[in-house]
């Protein structure tokens, strides 16, 4: 029975996808977009230019995964803390640094925050 139910469900999904595809194919804006894409591809082939080259020309080069994450969140500034009692220096971009947390436990958060150099 499970195979029969899976078959019926798959057939139903296929019919729904056919209906969606027919609706998309009749959409005029999609037709125009596909026409533009085809003509652009032909033009790029004619001049031997890749999609990346076109994007670079317009200053819209694709970012790698790391670059995309940086644009979304941005990088945190590098902070430098210097312990006046020991002279030890800690550089961190986040607040969850092992040495920094140890100092906070020993000297208190306000005291450690006052040691911020940069």
What token pair was written down for 69? 């994450």
Look at residue 4 and tell me whether its pLDDT is greater than 80.
yes
What pTM does this model have? 0.41
What's the distance, Cα to Cα, between the start and end of the chain in Å?
A: 69
Q: Which residue has the higher pLDDT, 77 or 12?
A: 12
Query: Are 24 and 30 spatial neighbours (Cβ–Cβ below 8 Å)?
Result: yes
Residues 6+ apart with CB under 8 A from 113: none
109 half-sphere exposure, CB direction, 13 A CA radius: 2
Q: pLDDT class for 65, splitting at 50, 70, 90?
A: very low
Pairing of strands 79-82, 89-92: antiparallel
Name the phi and psi angles at 86, rounded to 5. Answer: -110, -15
């Amino acid at each position: 029975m499970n195979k029969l139910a899976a078959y019926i469900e798959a057939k139903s999904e296929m019919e729904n996808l056919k209906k969606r595809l027919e609706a998309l194919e009749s959409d005029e804006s999609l037709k125009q977009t596909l026409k533009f894409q085809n003509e652009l591809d032909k033009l790029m082939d004619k001049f031997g230019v890749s999609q990346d080259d076109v994007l670079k020309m317009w200053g819209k080069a694709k970012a790698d995964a790391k670059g995309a994450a940086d644009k979304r969140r941005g990088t945190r500034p590098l902070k430098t803390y210097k312990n006046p009692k020991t002279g030890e220096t800690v550089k961190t971009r986040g607040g969850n640094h092992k040495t920094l947390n140890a100092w906070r436990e020993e000297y208190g958060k306000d005291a450690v925050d006052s040691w911020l150099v940069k």
